[in-house]
Amino acid sequence: MEHMTSNEASVIDESQFTVRRTIQIAAPIEKVWSAVTEPEHISKWFGQAVFNGAGVGARGTLTFPDYGAVPLRIEALDAPRMVSYRWGNDDAPGSLPDEVDEAHSTVFTFTLERVSNGTRLTVVETGFETTSDPSANLESHREGWDGELDKLVALLEGGS
């Protein structure tokens, strides 16, 4: 049985309305970068990703089986070190417009760092104070990043 890297869970900072998680992945930074920026790779571990274009300002959607399509926009990009996405995913039913709602959206940023045994990836998601139920959304996203990033580690370390 393959041993997957064991990583700490996500943490919430209630005062800053942020969720943060740092993980180690036994894979080169270029491979991790592809996994967090290229739609065909994002789709293997996160949501079904479709981007219209590439680079800052590119828009797209992430579609989750039990949730629907979430609008997404690339906010910042510094390959292969940092990518930042804004998404409008307030959990109120029917609140998914085609465009990211500036007033009610969160931003998640992946920061990648080369380390001796692979890559250290940190995700920080901010802006929960703009959502309809900040503490519920913080908690659901904390759980979400635990599950999704564990899938990312399994994907990259599983040799696929």
Using one digit for the tens of pLDDT, what is the confidence trace for 51-108? 999 899 999 999 998 888 899 999 999 999 999 999 986 655 555 556 888 888 999 9
Residue 56: strand, helix, or coil: coil
Coil, helix or strand for 79?
Answer: coil
CB contact at 8 A, 36 and 42: yes
Phi and psi, residue 8, nearest 5°? -60, 155
> Contact at 8 Å (CB) between 11 and 141?
no
Q: Which pLDDT does position 10 carry in this prediction?
A: 97
Report pLDDT digits (tens) over 35-49.
999 999 999 999 999
What values do phi and psi take at 11, rounded to 5? -125, 145
Mean predicted lDDT score pLDDT of the chain:
91
Q: Does domain 11-157 have CATH number 3.90.1200.10?
A: no
Dihedral-angle region of residue 57 (phi above 0 means left; psi in -120 to 50 means alpha; beta otherwise): left
The one-letter amino acid code at 95 reads S
Find, among 50, 46, 52, 45, the residue nearest to 61 by Cα: 50
Identity of residue 93: P
